[in-house]
Structures are given as structure tokens and as C-alpha cells.
Amino acid sequence: MKTNSLRPPAEMLHEAELAALTANDRDSRPPGWKLSPKAVRTFLLGSNGDALPHEWGGKKTKTVVMQKFYGDDALVERCIVTLLGNRGLLLVGEPGTAKSMISELLAAAVCGTSLLTIQGTAGTTDDHIRYSWNYALLLAEGPSLRALVPSPLYSAMRAGALVRFEEITRCQPEIQDTLVSLLSDKAMQVPELSGADGVLFAGKGFNVIATANLRDRGVHEMSSALKRRFNFETVAPLADHAMELRLVQEQTAALLQDSAVRVECPTDVLALLVTTFNDLRHGRTAEGTVVDRPSTVLSTAEAVAVSHSAALDAAYFGNARLGAGHVARQLLGTVLKDNPDDLKKLKHYFDVVVKARGKGNRTWQEFYEARKWLRA
């Protein structure tokens, strides 16, 4: 389905892939699940180029399931197994390691919707987690199911679906603890309602996928009662240079296609970008030179953002060919946020590492020449 929205949810974006997986799913489905665990795995990790035959819009067609998460197949399998069990899934890690992406894809594949989502903030209240009331109806008719405004969690329990709890550790610990009894009893009391309406039992297939960033208030502030109700999975940044390059290439191409822009993105320029991110992220280059690490997060997600903006720069202000100069121009906005020292570190990286690599390599030389853009 073509949509006009800036960012359709995963189940809409990958509608054809999900239809193909459903049509070819020979394995048994757990109660409440839309796909078998194996098909869910394929949705995240791809069909290895195999085109799956299925019907689409009344016609026969074939769809290849694209790889969406890179770097740790076993992690995806463990996540799926956790969702089959009694405990919730908590994805922890640095920002930009694709925790939210995994949670969205899993929800889309397992229950067909990724939209039952609670966004954790310091202002999240009990009402956001349980339910609230339509006060006009409440005053007119008294408490009834009709007047109850369900939270995403309430809706997920009722439907036997997955609820996503993003950035759970940003909520106050007392608010997080609302989940403790919900997760152990798999039931929600509604004391205002009497009889059968006064308690909601979760349908088969209900579970919670939460995410937490290590840079925010940490998971250590989570109560141990709540920790026990989750299986923790740590999502690590991509360690493999070739894999990160492939990811940046594919996602940049997809983003450019989305914005209907044609730009040539030479592999050596994207490789330079990935190398720069790796050097600055680890504070050490492949040659063994030690460099100062900027204080900002230089995740793969940031690398994709920089290559996308650099390509747009090349498309609209250049000759539709991405160059190292465009990368340098966009790098600043990512590395330099609020710490003036980071500019010095970036300049130092250019003066020491980039300059040396530029001797005998045109791309790195062009990158070095663009250091004039590195001004605050």
C-alpha cells in the first residue's frame, strides 16, 4: 500500500513481505500469533534472496524478504523465544543500536500491529499505563466500559497482542512498578467497574517489549521486582565494518528512494564515512593511532543520518554524486552538539588521521580539503 505519511509503521511499510510470509508459513503458530516463530525470524533477518510466491492485489507475485536487522541473528532468536514465554522482553543498549526497530518489527510480525506503544517519559502516569476515563461519559452515565479509555497496554491485553514500552527507564520507578502485578497476574483490575467488567484477563499472545537506553537514567534504578519479570537482551553496536557499510548503503538507498531523489553514492565515500565513525567511536584507528573520542553518540543510526543528508546535499546543491566533501559538511551537525571540545577533537582527527590517509588517496584527500567546513 502506498501511503503519504512520512514514516508508515512497519506493518504497513512491509505489508507485501508480511503477506508473503503468511502465505508460505508452514510451521505452527503459537496461540495468538499471526506468524510462526520461524517466519518472524525471517521477517527480521531476511529470506536470503529467496522470492516467496503469494497473491497480492488479486495477482500472483513473488516477494523477497529484506534483511532488516544486522549483526546478531542469535539475539533475534532469543527475543522471539522470550516473547513465547511468561516474561517480558527488555532490550537495553546504547542509543541508536536498533532497539526500537527490533521492537517495532517484532510487534508487526507477531501480532500485526506495532502501534500499541507507550512512550516512557518523566511525565508518564499510571493512567497512561492502565486506563483513563472519558469524563463527559463518566459524569453522564457513571463508570462503564463505554466510558473507559483504554491505554495501549489495556488494548494489548484485551486483544492478546504485544505492547511496546519505549524508554521505560525514563519513567519514575513507582510508575514502572505498575507493570509488576500486570505482568505476573496477566490481568488488570478496574475497581470502578463491577462484575465481569471489573477485571480484564489478558488474551493469549499478550506480552510486553520494553526498551531502555544506557545513556539515560539506567536500568539499575528499576526495581528488582520488575527486573525479574523481564528477560534482558543487550543490543550491541555493530562491530563488523563490512556489515555496517552494507547497512549504511542499503538504508541510504532506501531513504533516497523514499524522498524520490537520485544520487550516485560511491562505495568508497560511504566506506570513508563508516571508517570515520568507527575511528571516532572507538578512539582508535585501524592503523593503531589513538584519537580523542567526542562526547556525542556516534551510532550506526547517526551514520545513516549523515550519509542521507550528505546525499541530499549532493542532489540539491551538487552534481548528484556524493563526495567526501558533502560528508564532512554534514558530520559537524552530528558530532558537535553542546560540547565545544568536540570540535577540537574532530579537527585533531582531520589533522592527524585524515591528512595522512589523504596522501595517495583521492577520496580521503577530498575529505581532508573539506576541513574548512569544520567551524562552530
Q: Is 71 in the site for ligand ADP (CB under 6 A)?
A: yes
Given 82, 151, 211, 276, the residue binding ligand ADP (CB under 6 A)? 211
Beta-carbon count within 10 A of 329 CB: 20
The strand order across the sheet containing 117-119 reads 117-119, 162-166, 207-213, 88-93, 230-234
Query: Do residues 275 and 241 touch, judged by C-beta distance below 8 A?
Result: yes
Given 36, 47, 97, 178, the residue binding ligand ADP (CB under 6 A)? 97
CA distance 314 to 211: 35
Q: Is 98 in the site for ligand ADP (CB under 6 A)?
A: yes
Q: Which is nearer to ligand ADP, 66 or 138 (CB)?
A: 66
Backbone angles phi, psi at 290, to 5 degrees: -85, 130
Which amino acid is present at 197?
D
The binding track of 81-110 with respect to Mg ion, each residue x by CB under 5 A or -, is -------------------x----------
294 binds, among ligand ADP, Mg ion, none (CB under 5 to 8 A by kind): none
Q: Is 69 in the site for ligand ADP (CB under 6 A)?
A: yes
Beta-carbon count within 10 A of 240 CB: 11
Rounded to a whole number of angstroms, the minimum distance from the CB of residue 100 to ligand ADP is 3
96 binds, among Mg ion, ligand ADP, none (CB under 5 to 8 A by kind): ligand ADP
Query: Do residues 153 and 162 touch, judged by C-beta distance below 8 A?
Result: no
C-alpha cell at 117: 506503544
Rounded to a whole number of angstroms, the minimum distance from the CB of residue 234 to ligand ADP is 11
Q: Which is nearer to ligand ADP, 175 or 304 (CB)?
A: 304
Q: Is 118 in the site for ligand ADP (CB under 6 A)?
A: no
Which amino acid is present at 314?
A
Q: How do strand 117-119 and strand 131-133 relate by DSSP bridges?
A: unpaired
Residues β-bridged to residue 91: 211, 233
Binding residues (CB under 5 A) for Mg ion: these are 100
Binding residues (CB under 6 A) for ligand ADP: these are 69-71, 93, 95-101, 211, 238, 247, 251, 300-301, 304
